[in-house]
Amino acid sequence: MGEWKISGFREVRELGAGAQGRVVLARHEETGFPVAVKYVVVGPDPAPLESLRREAEMLARVQSPHVARLYQLVEGEHGAALVMEAVDGVSLKVVLAEHGRLDPQAALTVLKGSLLGLAAAHAVGVVHRDYKPANVVVPEDGRSKLIDFGIASAAGSASRSGTPSYMAPEQWEAGEAGPSADVYAATCVFYECVMGRRPFGADSAVGLRGQHLTAAVPLEDFSVPLRPLVARGLAKDPAERHAGAVEFVAELESVARAAYGDDWEGRGIRALAAAAAGLSMLFPLAAAGISAPAGTAAAGAAAGTAGAGGAGTSGTAVAGAGNTAAGFLAKASVVKAALVVAGATAAGTVGVVTYETTRPEAAAAPAVTLASLDRTYPDRVLRVQGGQYAQVKGLKNATVQTAANRALRVPLDQAVTFYKEWGKTAAARAACGGGTNLLAMSVVKGLTGPDLVSVRYVPKFQRRCGKGPGYFHPGFVVTVDLRTGRALTADDVFKPASFGKAGMTRLWDALPDGDDKLQLMRGHSGSGGFFNPLGRHAFFLDPQSPESPPMALPFFGKSRFGLVYAGLDGGVSEFDLGRTSAYDFAIAYGEVKDLFRPELAARLPV
């Protein structure tokens, strides 16, 4: 096995080895691009090869900067190998061994990053089944990533596979393991990060099984604001947990903001990065004297047991997706399930590529089409006529496409809800005298792929009667991640620190001067002078006006960033602020891109 190598890569150093295989750090000979290669032995027992094939199949489905990236699965007469991106970092297992426990904000941060990886997997029907500290990596920027899909499976598969300390009750009983099983394991890890010990610590498999199946979660010493999050995540009944990682992330962010303030994640990232930086001598690329490729998203080394083939791989470097892949990646065209010939030339290096992936940005853009709603709401004297909304076609995953199209329809539904308010009361409806208010909607397309679609909806409202719910006219915008089908929130767009005074001042100053900015400034000036209307609160729903979208909405155009802000109605000041639509400000990406999260900024036009 030690003599069999795939062609085109020069081995730099071994990172770990076990009975059935090893993991090495290598460089692509043509470009010098570093990769991690996981080898397994091909022998009489087909299980290791089948396991590696399954891992490749699961990884090939998932596209996320928070998940290990597969480049190739190569099979030969004497062995098989996964080629993955190699990056610098250490496993959470190593961090905890060094520091014992983490500050709650750092623990929440490491949980969020890897949960986003789980969310991408869950969106395409993949359950990880082995979430544990050894499979969560912490790079130097503190943003955690999920690795090792060695025992991952399609959602609903039944198996006892997993690591006992983190296995959900249904895994212990060989029941069907869905996304909520990953939620359970992630909550166990979160508990360990905060408390410095696992929630259940019996020293035998039988004892652990009993604790996971029936024992109460020990929360007496756990941080009070975080207890409900942990109690729900560790519920014995899968139906009582979060349905999947997306739901878990949403509650995590809400709990974290309430407990630690809006900048909780910024502080957590700094604390986590400091913890990882103290272990930088263990980073695989640094130890080998290799610089990380410019522009790649960092991930790290897993210290633990390789999921595929059972190879003990302390220091395994398998890592996350980057947006600037090397030349050999650009040559790959699509994910291939059929066999294609690899260019093997030397004796002992013959292999066949059974999976090969391309860069995300090289993927074909989806088709963005327009659908239309025509409907009358007599109970609110509103008629929607030509209510356009965007839809996508051509996504390979039907579940993700359905979720994306549901998210793309939301702004139209918001507009209908908002303009139905004009006919809310009986008096307003009577005043119409048999007439009806009219609403039409047009669509402005921004980015349309390959993995982001951003759309702005422009309403045309003809009021015949009634009174609106407020003094402003909201904007309607949605940006959808086509890898997961999820609509981005402002927290997905902006760095936590960008919501501070300095960041929001920069955003305000970037708005182009003109009548719109002047009127917006006038509308937000009082006896104390001008106050910046931009802040985190402006980008989220006002609980006092749930029928209205947020005041501010980010829009990603094909060449410029757009900020859509609610238009002010007349009669609110001595100035003429009468308006029937939202303000739309276009800003050069270069002026504000550094306010965005790096993983988002890397996916936007230069």
Residues belonging to the active site = 130
- Residues with Cβ < 8 Å from 604, sequence gap 6 or more? 447, 452, 556, 561, 589, 593, 596
In this structure, are strands 9-18 and 126-127 parallel, antiparallel, or unpaired?
unpaired
Is 520 strand, coil or helix?
A: helix
In this structure, are strands 79-85 and 34-41 parallel, antiparallel, or unpaired?
antiparallel
Distances (CA, A) of 474 to 181, 550, 583: 40, 7, 9
Q: Which residues pair with 146 in a beta bridge?
A: 67, 136
Residue in this structure with the two tokens 């509650």, named with its chain if needed = 251
Whole-angstrom Cα distance, residue 370 to residue 390? 5
Whole-angstrom Cα distance, residue 382 to residue 419? 8
Whole-angstrom Cα distance, residue 124 to residue 457? 28
Ranges assigned E (strand) in 194-269: none
Whole-angstrom Cα distance, residue 163 to residue 101? 20
Q: Which of 18, 134, 120, 135 is nearest to 59 (CA)?
A: 120
Whole-angstrom Cα distance, residue 362 to residue 332? 9
Question: Side chain identity at 285, as an amino acid letter?
Answer: L
Q: What is the dihedral of CA 539, 542, 546, 548, to 10 degrees?
A: -50
Whole-angstrom Cα distance, residue 26 to residue 317? 10
Terminal-to-terminal C-alpha distance of the chain: 45
For 467, the token pair is: 């009174």
Residue 17 sits at the vertex; the CA angle it makes with 12 and 20, to the nearest 5 degrees, is 125
Q: Which of 181, 164, 184, 179 is nearest to 232 (CA)?
A: 184
In Å, how far from its chain's centre is CA 390?
22
Q: Which of 305, 269, 308 is nearest to 139 (CA)?
A: 269
Q: Is 77 exposed, middle or buried (0-12, 13-18, 19+ CB in 10 A)?
A: exposed
Q: What burial letters (b/e) apply to 388-420, b meaning 16+ CB within 10 Å? A: bbbbbeebebeebbebbbebbbbbbebbbebbb
Question: Side chain identity at 500, as an amino acid letter?
Answer: G
In Å, how far from its chain's centre is CA 463?
40
Q: Which of 529, 567, 532 is nearest to 548 (CA)?
A: 567
For 433, the token pair is: 């005298």
Q: What burial letters (b/e) apply to 172-201, b meaning 16+ CB within 10 Å? A: beebbbbbbbbbbbbbbbbbbbbbeebbbe
